[in-house]
Amino acid sequence: MCGRFVITSAPAALRQLFGYLEQPNFPPRYNVAPTQPIPVVFVDKGARHFQLMRWGLLPSWVKDPRGFTLLINARSETVLEKPAFRHAIRRRRGLIPADGYYEWKADGGRKQPYFIHRADGAPLGFAAVFETWMGPNGEELDTVAIVTAAASEDLAALHDRVPVTIAPDDFERWLDCRSDEVDAVLPLMMAPHIGEFAWHPVSTRVNRVANDDDQLLLPISAEEMEAEAPKPKKVARKAAASPADDGQGSLF
């Protein structure tokens, strides 16, 4: 799955890579989390556009979003069938610019976070589907989910799911929603090739959404990992019962 990601490339470099018309200026983000506004690239009237959308897709048919599960990911194996995604995958496909993402690997009784990125350091384009939810009072909310796939053999060592990444040469094919047919994009919804990504352990500071700085990306050593591991709680021993008073009293 993908529950946190990073976007650190310069806005001008991302605009050149993704080819959208707007010229947004935004700061680097080192700990992007669900429910936050995130950049989405999509095609409208033949041109690519950049727009912020809430991470957590909300289908148009939802009556009350307060009682609806937050959909941050859409599984590639079922995206064509699930009511929440089956229209969006055909008509509203987008790309989310990023430079990497975090995943947590179970290690004993704790979870160790890792930063995952392309081995060549290039930016990513996460495959995404989006919807516009309209409220009873006419309010609109643009929402998005990241498409995921079963992990390749190497990345499966961290987690069994990975975000689908679209290569720049396939941007046009993924974004082209002029037809309801999705046969052309089905081969794109797959895990990265073995060796395409690299990763390293990072500080558990990333666990807190409030932490959003470049130190989160730094690799940590085995000693630092051990130092961050939660210490076992000490169990207080019950005091021994006092012996019955023998009439002499006691100072202890």
Whole-number Å distance between alpha carbons of 52 and 108: 38
In the β-sheet with 110-118, what is the strand arrangement from edge to edge? 29-32, 5-7, 100-107, 110-118, 197-201
Catalytic residue chosen out of the listed positions 2, 153, 196, 226: 2
Specify the residue for token string 């941007």. 171
Catalytic residue chosen out of the listed positions 103, 172, 181, 224: 103
Whole-number Å distance between alpha carbons of 51 and 37: 9
DSSP class per residue in 111-152? EEEEEEEETT---EEEEEEEEEEE-TTS-EEEEEEEEEEEPP
103: annotated active-site residue = yes
Cβ neighbours of 122 (radius 10 Å): 13
177: annotated active-site residue = no
Known catalytic residues are 2, 103
